[in-house]
Amino acid sequence: MPYLLLILLLLFAACGETTNTATLSPTISEPDLTSSLTIAVLPSVSPTKTPLQLTNSPTLAPTNVSSTPNALPSVTSPLLTPTATSIPTNEPTATSIPTNEPTATSIPTVGPTSTPLPASGSTANALPVPFQPVQRQIAPPNCCQAFAFARDGRLYYYDKSATALLDLAGGQSQRLTTRWGLFSPDLSLVAFSARVGGPTTIEQVNDGTRRATLQNRSSLTLISPDNTRLAYLLRSPNQAPEAPQLFELWTGHLDGSNLRATWTLREGANLAWFPDSRHLLLTARNVANNRFGLWVVDSQATTGQSATLIVESKGLLAATLSSDGERVVYAITLQGEVNSGVWLANADGSNRRKFDWVGGWHWSPVNGTELFYSPIRAAGETASALWSYDVAHQQATRLTDPVTLPLRLSFDQWQIAPDNKNMVYRSTTDNALWLVRFR
């Protein structure tokens, strides 16, 4: 019995313990292992996270955690929480940060690099300074009736009844002859024409020696470039002034021998020798067929077979040969917009082309590939400009600026010097002679 009672007491005690446990379980939550560990080790301190600070220095120094107010306990803590010096990271330090871009010293330049300036005084890359044309007066107003350049560059002019040389440097004049005449290109010979209807004499300039006397009724006589031949247009007498004038073209030797009428024509003008001293250029109307135009005449051909028409036009006004005789420039007027204007052609009439300007012109005295011209001023313009045309390259270049260097040119009152650098013109303002250096 006692044993039975003891067993019952034990069972009763066991049941009472079970009941107490079940009653308390609703007020106790499941234990948090992390909180338990923290509370067990640091009952009064909450851990804080100290972020790493990257600087601009090449390397990042480790953060000294122990020096901060929120420093963690030493590594003897059961947590074994690592300090900042041992925090593992997946980012390398600044000295080892990998990059796919080159450093500043190796960045390729996309644009052109600057060219170093030359040292002071260096002219290796210096551009030439454009020439600035200048002009100056070389003769007083109303001094000269006509003027031209000799082959050697001397300028001669007609003043009343005398002919004089003009010194371009000092502006001093020197009398060349006491009469008016047409000179040979080298100024060694002159053809003096007497009063209307009188003879023409050929004389040497240096000593006045007479070389020939021509009974040509004061016709203007041209001496050939080689000083061996003569040519002139002889107007037939007893013609009505209003009728187309009849002429004969005469040619012969310098001494007046072998003179003959080479061709009969009307309205003859613009007579000029070719450089070969055999052929002549002129504008005329052929009496035989009444055709008017630009003709080339062979002075040594048989009469009636000497003239060749190279340009036919009723409005031919003027024509000049290039210095080498290879080309001709001529003007046509009153023939409609298409045909009127200034034209360039070969000396046989081929390869004609029209310029886009109208004005006066002169061939270069030293070559047949450069033409100087001055276009007629447009409305409102008060000054002219000098231009150059390169025949070979068909390129025009303005040589003077009418704003900075105003030229008062007339249609034909100007001449180009044989040096191809100077021009003399008669001013339409004061009628004086002016010298222009354009190169």
- Reduce the secondary structure of the chain to three states and give it as a string: CHHHHHHHHHHHHHHHHHHHHHHHHHHCCCCCHHHHHHHHHCCCCCCCCCCCCCCCCCCCCCCCHHHCCCCCCCCCCCCCCCCHHHCCCCCCCHHHCCCCCCCHHHCCCCCCCCCCCCCCCCCCCCCCCCCCCEEEEEECCCCCCEEEECCCCCEEEEECCEEEEECCCCCCEEEEECCCEEECCCCCEEEEECCCCCCEEEEECCCCCEEEEECCCCCCEEECCCCCEEEEEEECCCCCCCCCCEEEEEEEECCCCCCEEEEEEEEEEEEEECCCCCEEEEEEEECCCCCEEEEEEECCCCCCCCEEEEEECCCEEEEEECCCCCEEEEEECCCHHHHCEEEEEECCCCCCEECCCCEEEEECCCCCCEEEEEECCCCCCCCECCEEEECCCCEEEECCCCCCCCECCCCCCEEECCCCCEEEEECCCCCCEEEEECC
pLDDT grade, residue 7 (50/70/90)? very low
Q: What is the pLDDT of residues 107-124, one digit of tens each?
A: 343 334 443 434 333 334
The end-to-end CA distance of the chain, in Å, is: 154
Q: What's the CA gap between 73 and 131, in Å, rounded?
A: 91
- pLDDT, average across residues 17-37: 38
Q: How many residues does the chain have?
A: 439
Q: What is the pLDDT of residues 83-142, one digit of tens each?
A: 444 444 444 444 444 444 434 434 343 334 443 434 333 334 555 668 899 999 998 898
Q: What is the pLDDT of residues 407-429, one digit of tens each?
A: 998 888 999 999 999 999 999 99
Nearest to 361 by CA among 379, 386, 337: 386
pTM, entire model: 0.70
Tell me what pLDDT residue 126 has.
Answer: 53
Q: What is the pLDDT of residues 359-416, one digit of tens each?
A: 999 999 999 999 999 999 888 888 999 999 999 999 999 999 999 999 998 888 999 9
Tell me what pLDDT residue 304 has.
Answer: 60
Percent of the chain having pLDDT more than 90? 57
CB atoms within 10 A of CB 83: 16
Q: What is the pLDDT of residues 292-345, one digit of tens each?
A: 999 999 999 876 678 999 999 999 999 999 999 999 999 999 999 999 999 999
Q: What's the CA gap between 431 and 140, in Å, rounded?
A: 8
pLDDT exceeds cutoff 90 at 171: no
Q: What is the pLDDT of residues 206-259, one digit of tens each?
A: 999 999 999 999 999 999 999 999 999 999 998 988 888 999 999 999 999 999
Tell me what pLDDT residue 303 has.
Answer: 61
